[in-house]
Amino acid sequence: MCQLAYPSGYQADVDFSEFEQVEIFDRFNTSCVRIVWQESRREVVVFRGSHNIYDWLLNLCCFKSKVVDDNRKFYVHWGVRSLLKQPSSLSFQKSTTRSLQQNVQAVLKPLVEQGKKITFVGHSTGGSLAVLCADLLNQQTQIKIKRIVTFGQPACGGNSFYKAYSLHNKTYRICCDVDMVTLLPPLPYIYRHVGRQLWLHEGVIYENIKPLKRFLISLKDWLFRPITFHYMDKYIRSKELFDKH
């Protein structure tokens, strides 16, 4: 689903003929959010990751932006907040008068009124956007969130956001091996991840592992990697390549 939010990710072998969907375009008129639903199923909001120089420059703007929300006040990554506030347009209505968050809310509102529940999915910066947008919508509107699942997500807020975040038990943050993006911004005690971390490494799933321990495990495996490549399971994992040859 995350791959489908990228411009090149809408594969022909994915059959969405039975689904309804709406795309949201960013300020550069590039698809950045795909909302998919079906009458008999729950819908999914898909955020994409960084795919242009502008996005990457905003990723580097890791100073914090204050958010005041009802009785809450917290600080989040300025670049991520800017992406969520950027002008956007719907696929069926080319208008840039509303922000990305406002357009997501506009599409989800009638679906929620139909009794549907919302799942946010995002990759990379898209994961940070999904986390922040889900939290804001959960607090500011009647839109209730079922779960948030992110892949390779950098942190989007500090300790104040961690304490204010309302969806810890519904957030699953998937990290893969030595994906350095998941350790960004590299500012310990200034930025902090939310939700439940699931680290996939060498066929094992580690839950909520500390960054230092994760680094040490990765370092150890890297040092012994030449030896582990001799193990039979490495050859078994490559079986499909031989089957296709």
CATH number, domain at 129?
3.40.50.1820
If one counts the domains in the chain, the total is 2
- The parent domain of residue 103 ranges over 3-209
220: how many CB neighbours lie within 10 A of its CB? 10
Asked whether residue 135 carries a pLDDT value surpassing 60, the answer given is: yes
- Does residue 188 sit in the same domain as residue 238? no
Predicted confidence (pLDDT) per residue in 96-109, tens digit: 678 999 999 999 99
pTM of this structure: 0.83
The predicted structure's pLDDT at residue 181: 83
Tell me the three state secondary structure of residue 245.
Answer: coil
- Does residue 41 sit in the same domain as residue 111? yes
pLDDT above 90 covers a percentage of the chain that reads 26
- Does residue 182 sit in the same domain as residue 238? no
Query: Per-residue pLDDT averaged across 121-128, rounded?
Result: 89
Predicted confidence (pLDDT) per residue in 13-65, tens digit: 556 667 788 888 888 888 888 888 887 777 777 777 666 677 777 777 778 88
Query: Per-residue pLDDT averaged across 126-146, rounded?
Result: 90
Asked whether residue 111 carries a pLDDT value surpassing 50, the answer given is: yes
10 pLDDT band, cuts 50/70/90, is: very low
